[in-house]
Structure 1
Amino acid sequence: MQVFAQEDHLLWIDDFEEALKISEENDKPILMYFTGSDWCAPCKMLQEDFFGTEKFKEKTEELVLVKVDIPRRTDIISENQLKENKKLLAKYNKQKGFPQIIALNHKGEVLGTQGSYSSSLRDPSRYFSFVDMIIDNY
């Protein structure tokens, strides 16, 4: 398992099986984030407007974070990680919507989804509401 901090200083897990274990052991929901880090403009905006905020960072104590990056450049993640990420994409994000966040329980069952992000409005309020709802109902 690799746990890594990005420029946003959040701890993202890239091993889904490990995230399921952590979720069960700590009784926390999983927040899976599908992004195209090097090509998806709305993903970059959501990163800045939502994930990069102090308000979101405060909520991470109650979540297990999993980032599923599907970049176009081959030097961003390993070939093996891309293969694993594509499996998660096929299972949990069949429409291939980016950005997309999906909340899951420790069994990998979907609790809810929130997708797309308007580059003109840049209003992350529905993402915050979604995360609050998942935390409050878990």
Structure 2
Amino acid sequence: MKKILLLFVLCVSFTVSAQEEDEDMTNLNWLTDLDEAKKEALASEKPILLYFTGSDWCAPCKMLKKDFFNTEAFEEKAEKFVLVMIDMPRRTDVISEEQLKKNEKVVSKYNASGGYPNLVALNDKLNVIGELSGYTFLRETDRHFAFVDAVLENY
């Protein structure tokens, strides 16, 4: 009985730590609906930053999340964007089937090459104004900061 109880406690603690890991980007206002993002971009006169991720399978996506998106430096720049996360998980319990269908439409239009992670900047008319794909195991975010800076300078 003690072994079963210990096993249960371990499972619960791992689940809690996994949930805490997923909540890292909660300081940022990530939308999941491109139509909503377009309305917000029109109202705020900000560019849209699409982030294509495979949250439960893409190792570079997980590293980019930690090294780039979860930094104070990005958080400051994020205020000048309408942020949209397009997640394409392999597990069926990560997002709803309805959300997955919406995401597939956005992927087919703005990430047809299928690269993950992928950043795509759009104007308020949903035209592409920049794109940056990939993240290496060297974990250097210079390209990503240069990309968001260039989008902001040219918008």
- Aligned partner of 1:28 in structure 2 is 46
Deviation at 1:10, TM superposition (A): 1.1
- Is 1:123 aligned with 2:121? no
**Fraction of identical pairs, as percent:** 53
Deviations 1:23-77 (A, max 9, x none): 0111000000000000000000000110010000001110000000000011111
- Aligned partner of 2:92 in structure 1 is 74
Higher strand share: 1
In structure 2, distance between residues paired with 1:95 and 1:14: 20
The alignment of Structure 1 onto Structure 2 pairs a total of residues equal to: 133
- Is 1:43 aligned with 2:61? yes
SS at match of 2:136: coil
In structure 2, distance between residues paired with 1:65 and 1:130: 15
- Is 1:112 aligned with 2:135? no
State the Cα RMSD in Å.
1.1
Deviation beyond 6 Å, 4+ runs, structure 1? none
Deviation at 1:7, TM superposition (A): 2.2
Matched to 2:117, the amino acid is P
Q: Normalising by the residue count of structure 1, what TM-score does the alignment of the two structures yield?
A: 0.94
| Stretches of structure 2 lacking an aligned partner (at least 5 in a row) | 1-21
Question: Which structure has the larger Rg?
Answer: 2
Q: Normalising by the residue count of structure 2, what TM-score does the alignment of the two structures yield?
A: 0.84
